Amino acid sequence: MIRRFVFGTMIETEAILQKPSACMDSLPYLKCSEESLSFSYEMGETDRIYGLGENVRGINKRGWIYESKCSDEPEHLEDRRSLYGAHNFLIVDGRETFGIFIDYPGILTFDIGYTRHDQMTITPSDWNLDLYLIEGDSLRDIVRQFRHLIGRSYIAPRWALGYGQCRWSYMSADEVREVVKNHRDLHIPLDMVYLDIDYMERYKDFTVNEETFPNLDKLVEELKEEHIRLVPIIDAGVKQEEGYSVYEEGMKKGYFCKREDGTPFVAAVWPGKSMLPDMLNKEARDWFGSQYQFLLDKGIEGFWNDMNEPAIFYTEDRLKEVIEEIGTFRGQNLDLDKYFYFTGLVQGLHNNRDYYKQFYHNIDGRQIRHDRVHNLYGYQMTRAAGEAFERLVPDKRILMFSRASYIGMHRYGGIWMGDNKSWWSHILLNLKMLPSLNMCGFLYTGADLGGFGSDTTEDLLLRWMALGIFTPLMRNHAARDTRRQEVYRFENIDGFRHLIGLRYRLLPYLYSEYMKAVLRYDCMFRPLAFDYPADPHAAQVEDQLMLGEELMIAPVCQPNADGRYVYLPETMKLIRFKENGSIEEEILDAGHHYVKVALTDVVLFLRPDHLLPLSQGGQYAEEIDFEQLSYLSYVKTKAVYEYYHDDGCSRDYENPAHLSTIIIDTEGNVTIE
């Protein structure tokens, strides 16, 4: 059951397409205080809180204060309160079990046992919001109801579940060719190479640097022959430059965000001084979306949208003030306070909160200050693209994922988890965000494998890959000035080939589970507690996940480990994929086990009366035969699997012909119905 409670008059987010009528009953579970502008809930000692999508800390979010504020935050440390997304959905699970969604485009905080251990307090910046309360038969049922409410998640083309290689940046067409050649020569499967900001002409959206990437359309064609797709980045900021058509047209039509007095708001990003398209204005959004045509025409079939929190390096005015103020420090003796103030002047230029109070959106003729709708910017940028693809290429699935997001954006694209680091703790953070993001509708997702910032190491990348082979978005990406981390740069190429190769063997299962999760409004990755609600140990597990209907995964997230402890909520079959191609199977009883996992082993756990379909593998997604399958199974009486299989590119998703049932009996006989 879903009830909608209305407080004040919210600014429309379109997170929900068909709103239930407002409930007039008094709000259950939560205490609502208009004086302190907050909702609070007394948590029981063992209550757990799930959700909040992309954020730091645990699967159980209790014990910290989170801020819903899309942030350009490359330091994913435990003390941060927000990352790039604003996902205001959570589930309380304990004495009482219910879900809450706060549909509110401004900044709000979720204090979940931070100030007081037994109290959760939700504080918006003003009192204009819709609050949804969702009750259901189980945690999964609550998620499903919520997901129905917010609409079906974006569906990626199947090739986008292949492996992708990225770096900030491959500087020329030849460098891209070399990346492709190295993968192909060494038989390391690959489907995508990403183009970061340097493919553009001086970081101008919808341009191509003709010197370093001459005839991009030819390159796209040439690489398609090798079954490789190029996926360029698009940034939110549009360079301010006379003669640059996107800038000139946007200015002429009044499509950029403005200051209160109507003058242009100039903010700097990669190209220096830039304009922010008013993504919240329908006309401007349509206009920005239609710009993607430039690259679609060159044969591009996928994009990633970046810097759309929006990230702002500085504003013209603030930079001027800071430079002047710094001048006044000349010759001074800087004591403690002065020194920190001085260094803070420059540090405070980047993404200063004040900037968000200095520009306005034109939403249906109303001027709305950005901070009131901050969390919608990346969402609406990605919607601009998604709606344009519907118009421009209605028969095709286009790959799209974004950095910033709000619930609602999940209908238009996926997300990646932003600028993580080559840290062991970030493998675990990647794992923990998966179920939380799935709850909020983001199914096409994954992290920068190997870590974006800092220098990676071979063992870190191998262990991270052993998780990444399960995530729909599987991309190796690193920042400039870091150690190069294409897998062929390392010694153990056989190990990487084995891991990535296994991803392609798993594709029939992963794609089937991804599609079923989308079409059934379900989670592909779930905390153990969702599947074993009566098991108190399962609720404690923060480093294992259920993956689809058949499997549990338990990746190794520690350096120098020869294995790890794994908790089995029931008897399962351990399946070990070894680098030499052999597959070992062993039945393990419910309970705790130390499981050895060599650096290039992949270990997974199959539930009783379940099965895992495997392909023969291939060098790219289109080479995979999704019909010639082999099976691993754990049959006690009968294993039954519902297999989703379509052509991976057209859009008749719901066609029942895409589903078949695979049955394996105790004798090992396979029947497909």
- Positions in the binding site for ligand GLC (CB under 6 A): 168, 196-197, 233, 306, 403, 418-419
**Residue 500 Cβ, how far from ligand GLC at the closest point, in Å?**
21
- Residues in the chain, overall count: 673
Say if residues 440 and 57 touch (Cβ distance below 8 Å). no
Return the ∠ at Cα 422 (arms to 399 and 313), rounded to 5°.
70
Helices (H), 393-479: 425-439, 458-468
In the complex with ligand GLC, the residue whose CB is nearer, 378 or 418, is 418
**Residue 302 Cβ, how far from ligand GLC at the closest point, in Å?**
15
Rg (CA), the chain: 25
Instruction: Write the secondary structure of 108-141 as one string of H (helix), E (strand) and C (coil).
Output: EEEEECCCCCCEEEEEECCCCEEEEEECCCCHHH
In the complex with ligand GLC, the residue whose CB is nearer, 168 or 294, is 168
Distance CA 182, CA 489 (A): 10
In the complex with ligand GLC, the residue whose CB is nearer, 76 or 403, is 403
In the complex with ligand GLC, the residue whose CB is nearer, 47 or 306, is 306
Say if residues 238 and 252 touch (Cβ distance below 8 Å). no
Distance CA 587, CA 613 (A): 18
**Residue 126 Cβ, how far from ligand GLC at the closest point, in Å?**
30
**Residue 109 Cβ, how far from ligand GLC at the closest point, in Å?**
24
In the complex with ligand GLC, the residue whose CB is nearer, 419 or 543, is 419
By CB atoms closer than 10 A (0-12, 13-18, 19+), residue 366 is: exposed
- Three-state secondary-structure class, residue 485: coil
In the complex with ligand GLC, the residue whose CB is nearer, 141 or 201, is 201
In the complex with ligand GLC, the residue whose CB is nearer, 209 or 615, is 209
Residue nearest to ligand GLC (CB): 168
**Residue 197 Cβ, how far from ligand GLC at the closest point, in Å?**
4
**Residue 166 Cβ, how far from ligand GLC at the closest point, in Å?**
7
**Residue 243 Cβ, how far from ligand GLC at the closest point, in Å?**
24
Distance CA 412, CA 292 (A): 14
In the complex with ligand GLC, the residue whose CB is nearer, 233 or 279, is 233
Distance CA 528, CA 607 (A): 12
Distance CA 643, CA 540 (A): 31
In the complex with ligand GLC, the residue whose CB is nearer, 236 or 554, is 236
**Residue 269 Cβ, how far from ligand GLC at the closest point, in Å?**
9
Return the ∠ at Cα 305 (arms to 302 and 309), rounded to 5°.
165
Name residue, tokens 């929900």: 16
Residue 591 token pair: 């309970």
Helices (H), 169-212: 173-185
Instruction: Identify the DSSP state of 543.
Output: S
In the complex with ligand GLC, the residue whose CB is nearer, 291 or 420, is 420
Helices (H), 152-207: 173-185
**Residue 233 Cβ, how far from ligand GLC at the closest point, in Å?**
6
In the complex with ligand GLC, the residue whose CB is nearer, 88 or 420, is 420
In the complex with ligand GLC, the residue whose CB is nearer, 233 or 499, is 233
Distance CA 108, CA 86 (A): 9
Say if residues 155 and 518 touch (Cβ distance below 8 Å). yes
**Residue 194 Cβ, how far from ligand GLC at the closest point, in Å?**
9
Distance CA 155, CA 362 (A): 30
If phi over 0 gives left and psi between -120 and 50 gives alpha, with beta otherwise, what is residue 648?
Answer: left
**Residue 175 Cβ, how far from ligand GLC at the closest point, in Å?**
15
Q: Are strands 302-306 and 399-402 parallel, antiparallel or unpaired?
A: parallel
Say if residues 337 and 343 touch (Cβ distance below 8 Å). no
**Residue 158 Cβ, how far from ligand GLC at the closest point, in Å?**
24
